[in-house]
Structure 1
Amino acid sequence: MTDTSTLEFQVTRNLAAKTDAQRDEILANPGFGQYFTDHMVDVCWSENGGWHRPRVQPYGPISLDPAASVLHYGQEIFEGIKAYRHADGSVHTFRPLENAHRLQRSARRMALPELPEEIFVQSLRELIAQDVAWVPSGADQSLYFRPFMFAKEAFLGVRPAKKVAYYLIASPAGAYFAGGVKPVSIWLSEDYARAGKGGTGAAKTGGNYASSLIAQAEAAEHGCDQVVFLRDGNVEELGGMNVVFVMKDGTIVTPESDSILQGITRDSILQLAADRGHTVERRAISLQEWRDGVANGDIVEVFACGTAAVLSPIGVLKGEGFEDVQPLGELAASLRQELTDIQYGRAEDKHNWLVRLSD
């Protein structure tokens, strides 16, 4: 096994980097996932050499052989994590070891090599060292990191690849909800499944999202913002977010199964709720329990959560032949505010979730 503790990142500066004026124009209204910083990280892996050749290089196209196995068999995983600029100008990220560990779990499921956590965290530091000016300072703005790994070996046999690449790119992100957080509408998908028992649902891999796109399109056709999936009559998750229910006795319930992605934002919100004295339950919750609970008042709030949007109250659940208006309360907004206050350094980080990337 390669000793990754001795790996040193080689840096090649982007001679065509954006000017200060060009960057400032982008940061004034970055949107989400539309613009990218000047550099990216690239680390190689091979069966014989292990992890090697870590580099920071100019952001640009990736050259792949047409037979690269990722193009044919989808052996690919990714993550999503943010950097936040604090009032003193320093830059921090949030729970990066949790993202590193989830990337490792995804790698195991997809027969890819596990990236050591120290390389994962160092890749964030190395990219920030070159592109720190890209971290915006506006309200609810952040720099969104997209770490990803894929099989690049050129072959057409069905087996785990012997050559793999890890990359890290970053994109400035504006406030997800322009004008403030608004309740979202959800379409119930009954014809499509996101994942099944023994499948890849708990891995953050592109195929899960590809399979959700037709259901998301169906949701849009019915005037909904997002889609929710079922498995054996139980609620799973949305196309890209976890679901959380607030019961009238204050208990917080979230679906749990081997086909649900373990959301880091969800875990953080549940911890904050537990800190306040709420009982937290991770268990199966059926569609019938959801609909009956809203109808009889047992469920007093429903919200979705994930890295990009942080937390979104659910205002409507639609399906074939029904439309259930969801109750709106104050807990979701309060938890969102508490979490973002920690991330942006406005509140005490009692759980030591923040990691400084730059002064």
Structure 2
Amino acid sequence: MEEQSIRVELSQSKKEKPKAVELVFGRIFTDHMFVMDYTEGIGWHNASIVPYQPITLDPAAMIFHYGQSVFEGLKAFRTKSGSVQLFRPEKNMERMNRSNERLVIPPIDEAFLVKAIKKLVEIDQEWVPDAEGTSLYIRPFIISTEPFLGVAPAHQYKFIVIMSPVGSYYKEGINPVKIAVENKYVRAVKGGTGEAKTGGNYAASLKAQEIVEKEGYSQVLWLDGVERKYIEEVGSMNVFFKVNGEIITPALNGSILPGITRDSVIHLLKHWGLPVTERRISMEEMYDAYEKGELEEAFGSGTAAVISPIGELYWEGKHIVINECKTGELSKKVYDTITGIQYGKIEDPFNWTVKVCETSKVK
């Protein structure tokens, strides 16, 4: 589509901003949001930044009945100098279009939406916190809004971006978590929607998550949906294993979400000259490596936590304790490097950061 202008309507009543110690994930929202509509025959139109507000939908809106939706997640960071920057936003928009294709949602103009997100963050820049480990979480999403009960792709959609200031994912430092390997439930299969970022994938994961939490585990390690033996994802994150000096991560196979943090980790490891391999990994292989003393580290990667070290895996009655349940050197180095780039503490040799605005006063 031809790039359109963005109409701006500023809020006349600003919300009180929370203190850094009060920040939790996804509970508090900024003063403004971005909205844009799609109508077949017109395309994406009516791009606007407006005061944060409820939306009104017809009870027959197709999102409620057939779940045609996609979403993304990225963050804005405040640097030491006070400027605000994003981390690889163009990759989020690229992935959103891949999700759109799978869900039969009209494609978006990626460059225009990066511009819109930058504008929204600039307007609400005072909401970007400056305490250690805090950031502004950005949630773009698309829903089908056409009122129709037929099973078919919708002809009307709404694209929305909302934002929420969030605290440090780790309250007391980067600590390993305990993970249970899931054998009963399946997250996704090749040919399904596993590689798309759509709400149904996450709804399907809740039952297994509920069960393992009651047993004292933080997350579920998902196996493939066909043979139930090959490792895919951990919770809502991609996963890496360091085995005898080699870093291994499951290859993207059509059912694994292509994480942007995952891609960043792989880039870093190769930049450091470390051996990194994307391939199929069985849980039995990881257990054999553990038995031989070769399973040195394991960690998940994702937007929220960046890096989440895995201290223990529970599989078929076996407790696999990794690195004495301590954060490994590699996990810590990757975490420190990516967050260092995000917050502008260290050099960004990959041009991953995108400047939104220069110094501003945080109120």
Shorter-chain TM-score bucket reads: over 0.9
- More displaced 10-residue stretch of structure 1: 207-216 or 311-320: 311-320
**Which secondary structure does the structure 1 equivalent of 2:347 belong to?**
coil
* Poorly superposed stretches of 4+, deviation over 3 Å: 25-28
Does the Cα contact within 8 Å between 1:145 and 1:168 map onto a contact in 2?
yes
**Pick from 233, 239, 251: which aligns with 1:243?**
239
Gap runs ≥5 in structure 2 = 359-363
Does the Cα contact within 8 Å between 1:243 and 1:255 map onto a contact in 2?
yes
- Residues 290-332 of structure 1: per-residue CA shift (max 9 Å, x gap): 1111221222100011000110110011134222111242110
Q: Distance in 2 between matches of 1:295 and 1:235?
A: 18
Which residue number corresponds to residue 9 of structure 1? 6
Which residue number corresponds to residue 337 of structure 2? 338
Which residue number corresponds to residue 256 of structure 2? 260
**Aligned ranges for residues 31-46 of structure 1 at < 5 Å?**
31-46=24-39
Does the Cα contact within 8 Å between 1:37 and 1:59 map onto a contact in 2?
yes
**Aligned ranges for residues 156-175 of structure 1 at < 5 Å?**
156-175=149-168
Which residue number corresponds to residue 55 of structure 1? 48
Which residue number corresponds to residue 147 of structure 1? 140
**Which secondary structure does the structure 2 equivalent of 1:41 belong to?**
strand
Which residue number corresponds to residue 318 of structure 1? 314
**Which secondary structure does the structure 1 equivalent of 2:124 belong to?**
helix
Which residue number corresponds to residue 200 of structure 2? 207
- Residues 24-44 of structure 1: per-residue CA shift (max 9 Å, x gap): x34442121111101100011
Does the Cα contact within 8 Å between 2:20 and 2:134 map onto a contact in 1?
no
**Which secondary structure does the structure 2 equivalent of 1:197 belong to?**
coil
Which residue number corresponds to residue 273 of structure 1? 269
The answer to whether 1:220 aligns with 2:213 is yes
Gap runs ≥5 in structure 1 = none
Q: Distance in 2 between matches of 1:148 and 1:236?
A: 25
**Which secondary structure does the structure 2 equivalent of 1:300 belong to?**
strand
**Pick from 151, 170, 173: which aligns with 1:177?**
170
Counterpart AA for 1:336: Y
**Which secondary structure does the structure 1 equivalent of 2:308 belong to?**
strand
Which residue number corresponds to residue 284 of structure 1? 280
Which residue number corresponds to residue 191 of structure 1? 184
- Residues 236-289 of structure 1: per-residue CA shift (max 9 Å, x gap): 1022011101121x2211012210000101111111111111121111000101
Counterpart AA for 1:308: A
Q: Distance in 2 between matches of 1:293 and 1:62?
A: 52
- More displaced 10-residue stretch of structure 1: 221-230 or 315-324: 315-324
Does the Cα contact within 8 Å between 1:135 and 1:172 map onto a contact in 2?
yes
Does the Cα contact within 8 Å between 2:40 and 2:155 map onto a contact in 1?
yes
Task: Quote the offset at 1:80 in angstroms.
Answer: 0.4
**Which secondary structure does the structure 1 equivalent of 2:13 belong to?**
coil
Task: Quote the offset at 1:191 in angstroms.
Answer: 0.6
- Residues 94-146 of structure 1: per-residue CA shift (max 9 Å, x gap): 01111010000000000001111122201211211220000001101110000
Task: Quote the offset at 1:53 in angstroms.
Answer: 0.4
TM-score, scaled relative to structure 2: 0.95
RMSD after superposition: 1.1
Does the Cα contact within 8 Å between 1:124 and 1:357 map onto a contact in 2?
no
Which residue number corresponds to residue 357 of structure 1? 356
**Which secondary structure does the structure 2 equivalent of 1:104 belong to?**
helix
Q: Distance in 2 between matches of 1:226 and 1:218?
A: 10
TM-score, scaled relative to structure 1: 0.96
Which residue number corresponds to residue 298 of structure 1? 294
**Aligned ranges for residues 40-119 of structure 1 at < 5 Å?**
40-119=33-112
Counterpart AA for 1:121: V
Counterpart AA for 1:10: R
Name the count of aligned residue pairs.
Answer: 351
**Which secondary structure does the structure 2 equivalent of 1:335 belong to?**
helix
Q: Distance in 1 between matches of 2:267 and 2:259?
A: 12
